[in-house]
Amino acid sequence: MGDGGVYSTGDSLGTAGLDAIIIALGGWLAIAAEPSGAGAVAMAYVTPVAIMNIRTWSPFYEADDGWTGLSGTFADMAREIEQLNGEVDPYWKGAGSEAFKSFVTTKVLTPLNALQEMAERGSDGCNGVGDAMVEIFLAWAGATAGAAIACMAADLSGPVSPAIKWAIIGIWVAFVTACLVAIILLMTGTRSATSAMGTALEELKRGFKLEGDKVVKESSKVGADQRDLIINPENWNKEVQA
């Protein structure tokens, strides 16, 4: 969250713009809270806390677009293969046909469906985090602007103005802390999406053997028993419709 790293041009621009807004609003609040001394607390809470934790949502939306594109690609591939697999039925009957269809289902369609499911979970997770980050930022910005306006209004209260400003800053700090807790809970909540993606990956592993992040090519080959059934003309029982 707070390593300052960026992942794309949009993320870089978004991070710079967001930091500028956070500093500007925090500076306004700090100025409005003076000369009570509460302004220093406000600014201290802005720089190391808000800037380090309230991050731009652009990389999450960019990742969402990527996952959505992958999901659509896998779905299109599976749909086309399933259609072609079904077109075998009118022309090819028997053990050879069933062995071929079983291979396509277990070694091609099942992994593709698992990949689509994994991509959908990735998309849902990234989109959810992005939306939540926008909401948290808007809540923080609204609360900070409101606190600044309240501190300016407190100047009209005479001798009790410093006490009022300290009270305002105290309420603001509590709210910002709640925002940060929400961010922590949000990041924790992404584990459920990660878990769902892990389940999809396990389904993929059942279709293919993996070594590290690579598929063992032998695992995608037709098994000897299936191959014999498929290539033996005696198992074809071909029925061509007129």
Mean pLDDT for 72-82 is 88
In 46-109, which ranges are continuous DSSP H helix?
51-53, 58-86, 95-104
For residue 233, is pLDDT > 80? no
Mean pLDDT for 177-203 is 69
Place 43 in a pLDDT band, splitting at 50, 70 and 90.
Answer: confident
Q: Which contacts (CB < 8 Å, 24+ apart) does range 172-181 have? A: 172/29, 172/42, 172/143, 172/144, 172/147, 173/41, 173/42, 173/45, 175/140, 175/143, 176/45, 176/49, 176/50, 176/140, 176/143, 176/144, 179/54, 179/136, 179/139, 179/140, 179/143, 180/49, 180/53
Q: What is the pLDDT of residue 242?
A: 45
Judge contact between 54 and 137, C-beta under 8 A.
Answer: yes
For residue 215, is pLDDT > 60? no
Cα–Cα distance for residue pair 58/84, rounded to 1 Å: 39
Cα–Cα distance for residue pair 95/227, rounded to 1 Å: 11
13-17, 85-89, 147-151, 199-203: least confident range: 199-203
Place 239 in a pLDDT band, splitting at 50, 70 and 90.
Answer: low
Q: What is the pLDDT of residue 89?
A: 72
For residue 227, is pLDDT > 60? no
Mean pLDDT for 61-75 is 88
% of the chain with per-residue pLDDT over 90: 7
% of the chain with per-residue pLDDT over 70: 72
Q: What would you report as the CA-atom Rg of the chain, rounded to the nearest whole angstrom? A: 29
Structure tokens at 69: 């594109």
Q: Rounded to the nearest 10 degrees, how much is the dihedral formed by the CA atoms of 176, 179, 185, 191?
A: -120
Judge contact between 168 and 33, C-beta under 8 A.
Answer: yes
Cα–Cα distance for residue pair 154/29, rounded to 1 Å: 12
29 vs 8, higher pLDDT: 29
Cα–Cα distance for residue pair 76/113, rounded to 1 Å: 10
Query: Could you report the per-residue pLDDT of 81-132, keeping only the tens digit for each?
Result: 888 877 777 777 777 777 777 778 877 888 788 888 888 888 888 888 888 8
Place 150 in a pLDDT band, splitting at 50, 70 and 90.
Answer: very high
Q: What is the pLDDT of residue 149?
A: 93
| Pick from 242, 240, 238: nearest CA to 95 | 238
Place 194 in a pLDDT band, splitting at 50, 70 and 90.
Answer: low
Structure tokens at 114: 């698992």
Structure tokens at 132: 């939540």
Q: What is the mean pLDDT of the chain?
A: 76
Cα–Cα distance for residue pair 30/43, rounded to 1 Å: 6
